[in-house]
Structure 1
Amino acid sequence: MKLLRFGAKGQEKPGLLDAEGQVRDLTGHVPDFAGDGVSFAALHRVRALDVESLPVVNSPGRLGACLGRVPTFHCIGLNYARHAAETGGKPPPEPILFSKAASALSGPNDDVPLPRGSEKADWEVELGVVIGREALYVSEAEALDYVAGYCVVNDVSEREFQIERKGQWIKGKSAPGFGPVGPWLVTADEVPDPQKLALSLSVNGETMQSSNTSDMIFGVAHIISYMSRFMRLVPGDIIATGTPEGVGMGMKPQRFLRAGDVMELSVEGLGTQRQTVLAAE
């Protein structure tokens, strides 16, 4: 299934994309796709519906984030071999864990406003993993059994805030609009192997990132198992699994986002995003 949310900000309704590419309204069948709303039990109830009986939404308008909210917006750093190389770093011996503020969550095509003082905003196409049931101390062999689905994530980052300022990365990752997610939550049964997905990102029509999740240093199953040693993952948690090479920070000379720039990004089978960068308010 391809699950989505449509409507104005703060007024989104749950829906799904049918086999013909039409949006079907799930209002009255599910409250929202968030928390327990993306648990395996909730997804089973949606799967049991007669899709053809659901109302067609002829003009869905804006697509919101495919998750209404997230308990935790987890992220993995330096998780592609060629990306680690372009930053001048060595491949990490263990997954690098950090997070974005949950308030960074935004729609796949929403504008991305630069935060005040930003000079080094950067792009990062990523595979997002959404958890469908509680995971604690799970083995790598069973880890994918905890995945509700997958989605496209743009882990927008302000590098000066992230790296040149003191402290943890979260303050460079969490400005409003820095977490575009969607357009769809694609359930795990439609993604046979998350380590065989092409992903790409362009800025103003110029390809910046073009890679494959096979270049991940730590695969999705390893990441989930590893994280579950240190914390309880819960339904609705999202994990942005790292970005491939081609970020602005890695270029020579470096290149960063400016007002008016347009980012377009996609992950194979999971849809496409498009965001326009706005000047700081």
Structure 2
Amino acid sequence: MKRAKVAYDGAIHDAYEHITGLQLADGRVLSEDAVVWLPPFEVGTIIALGLNYADHVKELAKELTVTSQDEPLAFLKSAGSLIGHRSRTRRPEGVAFMHYECELAVVIGRTAKKVQRADAMQYVAGYTVANDYAIRDYLENYYRPNLRVKNRDGGTVLGPWFVDVIDVPDPHALALRTLVNGKLTQQGNTCDLISDIPSLIEYLSSFMTLSPGDVILTGTPDGVVNLNVGDEVVTEIDGIGRLVNTIVSDAEFGR
């Protein structure tokens, strides 16, 4: 089942996929553009992975000090970075290279501490689509995400749907792609993850407790391109959802 959270008519509603858009829990059927889409579940800690597809490592080779790593490259993000489907993301004035990152987001379903790889998938509640924007201008002198690159207000789009784990038979065989203004610019498959989902849960839970609602952004494949104000960015993962976002200027964003 695909579930969402939306704001409509002065209230927050649970919603479900419908052939014409979405259906609220009270039975009302609405079009996608009639509501404000929110992240589709109550989000806890946001854990993001960098350089988790070999082709993306190759794509960034000229910017990397080291192209191999003993451990996953993981970092945390704040709740303020999250926005929902059909929202707007700011491109700061004066930056030269801002790009999308289409990612499978893994949602933790129960408390996980020191989990073994063989048991890790039992701790997954479901999945959603993430588009985790990065501004390459702000990178340090080696590829390690810092606060200004990856922890920006409204810089991480999540949704539209939360998809139950039971409805995704193999999360390591999902095609993902990005379209900018209708043009295909990125495509990949989760079968190419360097650290797969069980490995990530084993690694993370070895030193931190994962809680229900925590979300792991598993990284992006190659094919990132620079974005401009006015661009519509669509990130898709087969069986999970189609996430739409628009790039706006500082003035349009209103901050």
Is residue 2:160 matched to residue 1:188?
no
Give the whole-Å Cα distance in 1 for the aligned partners of 2:143 and 2:197: 30
Deviation at 1:203, TM superposition (A): 1.5
Is residue 2:39 matched to residue 1:101?
no
Give the whole-Å Cα distance in 2 for the aligned partners of 1:129 and 1:245: 20
| Structure 1 counterpart of 2:235 | 265
Counterpart secondary structure, 2:201: helix
Deviation at 1:216, TM superposition (A): 0.6
Q: What fraction of aligned residue pairs are identical, expressed as a percent? A: 35
Structure 1 outlier segments of 4+, above 4 Å: 8-11, 164-168
| Structure 1 counterpart of 2:14 | 14
| Structure 2 counterpart of 1:230 | 207
| Structure 2 counterpart of 1:179 | 156
Q: Check 1:139–1:21 CA distance in 2 against 1; reply closer, same or farther (3 A cut).
A: farther
| Structure 2 counterpart of 1:214 | 191
* Amino acid in structure 2 at the alignment position of 1:87: L
Deviates more, 1:165-174 or 1:178-187: 165-174
Is residue 2:46 matched to residue 1:73?
yes
Deviation at 1:217, TM superposition (A): 0.4
Q: Is the 8 A contact 1:104 1:178 kept in 2?
A: yes
Q: What RMSD over aligned residues (CA atoms) do the two structures have, in Å? A: 2.3
| Structure 1 counterpart of 2:181 | 204
| Structure 1 counterpart of 2:140 | 163
Q: Check 1:171–1:69 CA distance in 2 against 1; reply closer, same or farther (3 A cut).
A: farther
Q: Is the 8 A contact 2:3 2:40 kept in 1?
A: no
* Amino acid in structure 2 at the alignment position of 1:270: I
| Structure 1 counterpart of 2:24 | 25
Deviation at 1:173, TM superposition (A): 1.1
Q: Check 1:83–1:10 CA distance in 2 against 1; reply closer, same or farther (3 A cut).
A: farther
* Amino acid in structure 2 at the alignment position of 1:209: Q
Give the whole-Å Cα distance in 2 for the aligned partners of 1:161 and 1:242: 19
Please report the TM-score for the alignment, with normalisation by the length of structure 2.
0.88
| Structure 1 counterpart of 2:5 | 5
Counterpart secondary structure, 1:126: strand
Q: Is the 8 A contact 1:198 1:211 kept in 2?
A: yes
Deviates more, 1:9-18 or 1:71-80: 9-18
Give the whole-Å Cα distance in 1 for the aligned partners of 2:177 and 2:151: 22
Counterpart secondary structure, 2:37: coil
Gaps of 5+ in 2: none
| 1:7-29 Cα shifts (integer Å, max 9, x gaps) | 259943112226x5663333xxx
- Structure number having the greater strand percentage: 2
| Structure 1 counterpart of 2:28 | 56
Deviation at 1:175, TM superposition (A): 1.8
